[in-house]
Structure formats: C-alpha cells, structure tokens
Amino acid sequence: MSGFSTKKLLSIALFVDFVVIAAVIFRAILLDKGPYRYFDEGSLINWLSGIQLLIIAGINWKIYRLRVGRKGVSESGNNYQILWQFLAFGFVFCAVDELIQIHERLDKFIHWIFQIQETALTDSIDDLIIVIYGIIGLLVIYYFRQEFYQYREAFSYFKIALILACCSIALDFLTQGQETSNLLNETQEMQREWLRSIEEIFKVFAEVFLIATFYKCLRIAKRLKKVVGVKS
C-alpha cells in the first residue's frame, strides 16, 4: 500500500464506499423500504465503518512504530510518539464503539440510573458523548501540535473530514427523538429514515478522509525517518 499516492488511495476508498452505499440505497428503493436498516447496528454499512476505523487505527500504529525512539520531545516534555499511540488506541475504541454502540448503551444507562424520562433533548446524550470523543481527540492533537504541524501537508484532508463529521453530528441532533420526528412534517418515518441514512453517509465519508489524512501522515513519517537516517 505504501506505493500508492494519497490521492489514489482516497479515490479508491471513495469509489468503494460509493458503490456499497449506492447498492444498499438501490435495494431500499427497489424494495420500497426505509434505507436506515442498511446503516443501523449490525448492517453492511455499520461493518464498513468499523473496518475503516480499524484501518485508521492501523495506520496510526505504523506511524507510532516509525516514530519510536525519536530524540525530540514536545513542549510538555512528553515523547512525540505518544500522540500516534493514543490515536491508534483511540480509533480501535471508536471501531468497537461503532460495532457495538457503546455510546448508545451508555446513553440508555444514564437514562436508567438517573431515572430520566426520554425526550428529544435527553435522547441527544449519545450525540454529546460522540462530541466529547472528538473534543478529546482534538485536545490531544493540540497538546502535541508541535509534532502534528510537521504533517501539515495532510491538513486539507483533515479539514474535509472534520466538516463531514460535523454535518453527520448535526443531522444526528436533528433526527433525535420522537418530538424532533414530529417536526419533520409530522411525519413520515420514511423521511426521518432517509435523514438518518444521510447522516451515516456523511460519517462514512468522513472516515475515508481520515484514512487519507493519516495515510499522508504515514508517508511523511517515512520521509522524516529517512532524513534522520541520513543525518545520523
């Protein structure tokens, strides 16, 4: 895979995702059924998302292995390589969460333990948990910004991934809860299902751009290692 350019890898990943998503949507239209069944927990798209997150974790682990033993330290005195180790384990957790819906189970547990009545507002707790995941990740990247800045060539992919992720979260908030569902023309559940499916599509494509982001970082890390090798 190291022989692929980042743009080529991105093109292949986007094509694969587009074909899979188009296939399940076509099936939903053909059977005149709501499409969300093909995006929900245990579905084909759900597994695709989990696999993509594991790929991102694997790329970050490879970067970590390349950066092990580097002499430089961050402003805080910690090794730069910790950033990549954290991201690797973080995305493994995200993959597990995606496949078994840890954040949604935690949402239900919070409702149960505090005896909270489910409303459109409280049903957004699982979305808030996802936002917290993202904030933690961004804070870690900021903490090790001196290291991450060396990979600024990958920032364009990273920005697109963030925009797509924000669109996914915004749609998730919009479609949460029965009260919100009634706002959608008082509504056809089908309309809500399509919105929830679009939310998942944004998420899956955000993951593709994260793959491109960290693959670009991997290529840069290999280049940096060669430079260090020449100097030594």
Residue 124, pLDDT score: 61
Residue-by-residue pLDDT tens, the chain, 232 positions:
556 899 999 999 999 999 999 999 999 889 888 888 888 888 899 999 999 999 999 999 999 999 886 554 444 445 678 899 999 999 998 998 888 876 566 666 555 565 666 655 555 666 677 778 888 888 988 888 888 889 999 999 999 999 999 999 888 877 765 444 555 554 567 788 888 899 999 999 999 999 999 999 999 999 887 765 545 4
Alpha carbon distance 58, 87 (integer Å) = 10
Taking alpha carbons only, the member of 77, 21, 63 closest to residue 224 is 63
pLDDT for res 170 = 86
pLDDT of residue 127: 66
Q: At what angle do helices 81-100 and 125-143 cross, to 10 degrees?
A: 170
Q: What is the pLDDT of residues 91-129, one digit of tens each?
A: 998 998 888 876 566 666 555 565 666 655 555 666 677
CB 48 within 8 A of CB 203: no
What's the pLDDT at 20? 96
Looking at residue 118, what is its pLDDT?
63
Boundaries of every domain in the chain: 6-231
pTM, rounded to two decimals: 0.83
Query: Could you give the 3-state DSSP secondary structure of residue 117?
Result: coil
Say which DSSP state 150 is in: G
